[in-house]
Amino acid sequence: MPKGNDTSLWLLRIVGAIAGIGLAAGTLASSASAADDTTEQRLLNAAQEQDNWIHHHHDYTAQRYSPLNQINRNNVKGLHVAWTMALGGVEGGGIWSHGGLEGTPIVENGFMYVTDGWGSVYKIDLHGGTGKLVWRMDPKTDHDWAGAVACCGVDNRGVALWNNLVISHTLDGRLLASNKEDGKVMWERKVADPDKGEVVTGAPLVVKNLAITGVAGAEYGIRGWLAATDLKSGKEVWRTYTIPAKGEPGNDSWKDSYDAWKTGGGSTWVTGSYDPQLNLIYWGVGNPGPDWDSAYRPGDNLYTDSTIALDADTGKIKWHFQHTPNDPFDYDSVAETVLADVTVQGKSLKLALEADRNGFGYAVNRADGTFLWATPFVKQVTWTKGISPESGKPVEYDPSKPVQTYVAAVTPSRQNPHITSCPGNMGGKNWPPTAYNPDLKTWYIPVIESCNEADDKEVKPGDWKAREFFTGGGPVTKLPITGSVTAIDVTTGKVTAKFETKYPMLGGLLATPELVFAGHPSGEIYALDAKTLAKLWEFNTNAGVNAPPMTFAVDGKQYVAILVGMGGAWDKWFIESTKGLEKVPPSSMLFVFSL
């Protein structure tokens, strides 16, 4: 239920009632007002507001593509720092020594909204070629309580806009609605429960008048879910569990006799996408729990390692596509789903694209989940010999077996507890988002090229304890890890180019008509040619980049912005695989570039 008095809820309803028609792209405003309200119509037509970036993924398709082309392949070498701003949130808490930055800035009519790792929201005035802080909202997140069960870092990936409100999450499980004009918190409600190991790191997705929240915590044996909150009332409308209970469709894919589904994982910590014509929300679902001991949870373990499509109004799952049934590798499918329309051999296709941690990029029909193609985007895959062109499942998958072995020699099991597999458990791609160029029909993936050794440890009924890791083993030796940006032609499913990198790609991508922008954990920002992936420009921030770039225009000028501050799980558990990154200091900076 929302906190606060009746007056604040009354004000919220008034704000919703006076939502006006959004301003056209590029229109300037001196302050947030009724004319700046982020209406449902504007959210639906976000791609038409070329100067703005009003969704986490730019628009509902999650393509992270902007048509702005003032900065292009001919002049990108002239890109330079326009201004920077130091943010807070670098302090640690719980098991973490410091916070990090993984968010995507939101820009609307000359104002930016950005978060730090602890969920503080900053509003920045972008006019005049520099950045001026308007307000900062500190949600007073409980650092130690939430940080102790934040599996993979002190992170917050950003905000959403709705009418005259800024919608944000906190690591300790709250959904907040702040007034755009002054940052005052109008209401908040508890969505997740850190008492169970649940935390929230993803940005909200606003669809109609609903804010969709995903949850993290599979490593703590939570039961994953998505929750929809009515932004007019502050009340929950629906909650859909990604691990079905007894009597629900899919529960028969948990074939144990001790209710393993209750601690089945299936977290949803990366922001989804939405098709308004189909009224479907698309979301990636993470790994099963325990991560490694797949014999504890025999069966396919739906809906883990899946892309799911849900009715936006009811939360009912309409279809699912599972990538790695009975996953023994920690290859969760939490990645964003990119929506793209293409024509192949005269046939129009509505694609849903997902770059999976198992090292394969998938395309399915986004209306019904029918498999279309899959292709490896990493250089080395050892866990399977390939994906069936008919079913989309690994060729070794046997639905009659309760526990899958895939390539037995590299699959962790109670019989074969110590293995080396490729990709490693961080995946061929982790959470950092892909980008897609609709003109070139090219999909760009931030790749982690890795293998790792791992141990399986037997889990027994009764071993689960709240707020304690529930993984059934894990990686024990870190082998050298590199990366790449990889391009795929979505009309063929073929890899067309690779830009090799010394370190893994731990931040996401941005596509513009002629360029692809990327950040590197050793501090470099790159601009690559969209066709060839040749490097055209580079700037070293001298701090680790763990966030995706974005672009916007104000006062007739295009800018590229990125948050700089290495956080997440890498420096805690994987730093031995990337010699040199241990020297990169913590940071919390916003960099903005222009010509």
Q: Hey, which residues are catalytic here?
A: 330
Dist CA 397 CA 411 (whole Å): 13
Contact call for residues 263 and 463 (beta carbons, < 8 A): no
Dist CA 227 CA 272 (whole Å): 12
What is the SS3 string spanning 263-306? HCECCCCCCCEEECCCCEEEEECCCECCCCCHHHCCCCCCCCCE
When computed from its CA atoms, the radius of gyration of the chain, rounded to whole angstroms, is 22
Dist CA 445 CA 487 (whole Å): 6
Dist CA 238 CA 135 (whole Å): 33
Query: What letter does residue 15 receive in the DSSP assignment?
Result: H
Q: Is the peptide bond before 290 cis (omega within 30 degrees of 0)?
A: yes
Dist CA 471 CA 326 (whole Å): 14
Query: Of 490, 479, 211, 520, which Cα lies nearest the Cα of 366?
Result: 490
> What b/e string do you get for 475-506 counting C-beta neighbours within 10 Å, with b at 16 or more?
beebeebbbbbbbbbbbebeeebbbebebbbb
Q: What residues have CB less than 8 Å from 465, skipping those under 6 apart?
A: none
In which order are the strands placed within the sheet that holds 205-207?
205-207, 210-214, 225-230, 236-241
Dist CA 501 CA 521 (whole Å): 10
Q: Token pair for residue 332?
A: 């969760």
